[in-house]
Amino acid sequence: MGAEFSAPLLRNLEFRLSPHFARDQKPHGWSISVGPVAEAGDFLWVVSPPYQTAPQRIIGAGYGLTAAESVQIQRQLYFVLDQSDYDRAAAIVEREPASDTKREKIARLGKGSLDLSITRYKVRTNIKTPSGAIDGLEWIEFEGRACVPRTTR
């Protein structure tokens, strides 16, 4: 549990699974991100709805879901392709009021896509934490497909 995973994508980007920590500060799942190789940035969160909560970006318990419920989500995520699109999308998310226009502007910047399905997994139940018992994931197997446009024209 808690092992990191990454896979290269086009345009010097990589897909990442990073340990997701629960209330007891131990890993009980994974966070999904896409970002520049050898950099900590995440180009996925800013253009993958829903924008205020992100249960689809976590594999494991959280956002009111159990680990077993989380692995059932068929994830269709989007990401920007470079830092300038990230900066534009982040400014829209942070500054503009909620509206259909805001969602459309953000969606236009999310030119890359990632489809991810969990195919096998093992749940650990009743893990004791200072704030109560939770469930977590021992391991997962998954299938994914990323689409990264070679050009943005």
pLDDT in tens, 61-88: 888 888 999 999 999 999 999 999 999 9
Confidence at residue 28, expressed as pLDDT on a 0 to 100 scale: 77
Q: Strands 132-147, 112-129: parallel, antiparallel or unpaired by DSSP?
A: antiparallel
Predicted confidence (pLDDT) at residue 126 exceeds the cutoff of 90? no
- The one-letter amino acid code at 45 reads W
Q: What is the pTM of this model?
A: 0.89
Confidence at residue 26, expressed as pLDDT on a 0 to 100 scale: 67
Beta bridge partners of 115: 76, 145
CA distance 84 to 97: 21
Q: Strands 27-36, 75-79: parallel, antiparallel or unpaired by DSSP?
A: unpaired
Q: What is the DSSP string of 59-82?
A: ESSBTTB-HHHHTT--EEEEE-SS
* Residue percentage of the chain with pLDDT more than 90: 61
Predicted confidence (pLDDT) at residue 45 exceeds the cutoff of 80? yes
